[in-house]
Amino acid sequence: DQLISQIAAGEVVERPASALKELLENSLDAGSTDISVSLVQGGVKQLRVADNGNGIAQEDLAMALTRHATSKIASLDDLEAVASLGFRGEALASIASVSRTQISSRALDTKHAWRIASNGSEISPIEPTALDAGTIIEVDDLYFNTPARRKFLKTEGTEFGHCEAAFNRVVLSRPDVAFMLQHNGRALSRYAVSEPTKRFGEVLGADFAAETIAVEESAAGLRIWGVVAKPTFNRNKSDTQYVYVNGRFVRDKLISHAIRQAYQDVLHHDRHPAFVLFLELDPNLVDVNVHPAKTEVRFRDGQAIHRFIFHSLHKALASPTG
């Protein structure tokens, strides 16, 4: 079972940043309004996420580190099939199987906090600990027991960069939550609860915020909102392109194409469009779980999505204020 967990971990936990993404999603799922991330050595030595969410009840703590549906994998060949199920309830178990993981948590409306630890193969007995509220998950020494995986880790700077990018994707999408990031003991960023446009400016820079046009359209069960940069906004460093589908960051060729086409059509320019856009639609019309660690989506009606995004952006970019 440990081997299977480690194989699954390879899929879910490609690098520290993928573990961080899972931990942040869990904190958000728990209704947290304040999340602090602390990394050491690019997240390889330590990844620590502290939140003020609902917590985990004492009797559920061991469960949180245990794989739920082991019967789904009979062989390596089945891995593909399992991946398509989205590894529900597997992220934490996968992370724990390739690291030394500790969870401290205090469930809402309970008096005591509890702590559990895993050394990669064995889970310690639950013991009392002190914690005001929420959950702290600490992941130490990622891949310490899987040298083959450890070999693929890049430099501290590169791994930190990936972690920061994963952090920023979440921070952009949840202005209603406060966030903090520190690396090697140094506080790097702190975001108070805010409004979307204010948060975008805080994360992406005042120059971006000053050069944006608001997008807001709804039609036939589809909604898109956010900001697109005016053509005067020119940033030659890495792309400022964020698309979220029902709150999840995605990279989607169809969406990118619709956006680029709108820029091309209105501005005759599509080189480095910058944008933060949120697409919302009936969850039954999109599969966001194509792969647990990747950012693909599959739409039931891709053409309708393409048309809607193209028209929405076209309208925004062609507006007099734009």
Residues in the site for Mg ion, rule: CB under 5 A? 26, 91
Binding map of ligand ADP across residues 58-97, x = CB under 6 A, - = no contact: ------x-----------------------xxxxxx----
Cα–Cα distance measured from residue 200 to residue 238, given in angstroms and rounded to the nearest whole number:
16
For the purposes of burial, counting CB atoms within 10 Å of the CB of 259, is it exposed (0-12), middle (13-18) or buried (19 or more)? buried
Q: With respect to ligand ADP, which residue has the nearer C-beta, 89 or 205? A: 89
Quick one: three-class SS letters along 122-169? CECCCEEECCCCEEEEEEECCCCCCHHHHCCCCCHHHHHHHHHHHHHH
Count of residues engaged in binding ligand ADP, rule: CB under 6 A? 18
| Residue 310 CA to its chain's centroid (Å) | 26
Please name which of 103, 92, 49, 97 lies closest in space to residue 68, comparing C-alpha atoms. 92
Answer yes or no: are the C-beta atoms of 16 and 47 closer than 8 Å: yes
Q: With respect to ligand ADP, which residue has the nearer C-beta, 124 or 264? A: 124
Name the minimum Å distance from CB 246 to ligand ADP.
16
Name the minimum Å distance from CB 137 to ligand ADP.
6
Please name which of 258, 170, 171, 167 lies closest in space to residue 215, comparing C-alpha atoms. 258
Among 39, 56, 316, 317, binds ligand ADP (CB under 6 A): 56
Question: DSSP H helical segments within the chain, as ranges?
Answer: 2-12, 16-29, 61-64, 79-85, 91-97, 147-150, 156-173, 196-204, 206-210, 253-267, 302-318
Q: With respect to Mg ion, which residue has the nearer C-beta, 91 or 204? A: 91
Answer yes or no: are the C-beta atoms of 124 and 102 closer than 8 Å: no
54 binds, among Mg ion, ligand ADP, none (CB under 5 to 8 A by kind): ligand ADP
Q: With respect to ligand ADP, which residue has the nearer C-beta, 88 or 251? A: 88
Binding map of ligand ADP across residues 122-151, x = CB under 6 A, - = no contact: -------------x----------------
128 binds, among Mg ion, ligand ADP, none (CB under 5 to 8 A by kind): none
Does 102 engage in binding with ligand ADP (CB under 6 A)? no
Amino acid in position 136? I
Binding map of ligand ADP across residues 6-45, x = CB under 6 A, - = no contact: ----------------x---xx-xx---------------
Name the minimum Å distance from CB 26 to Mg ion.
4
Cα–Cα distance measured from residue 53 to residue 41, given in angstroms and rounded to the nearest whole number:
26
Binding site for ligand ADP (CB under 6 A): 22, 26-27, 29-30, 51, 53-56, 64, 88-93, 135
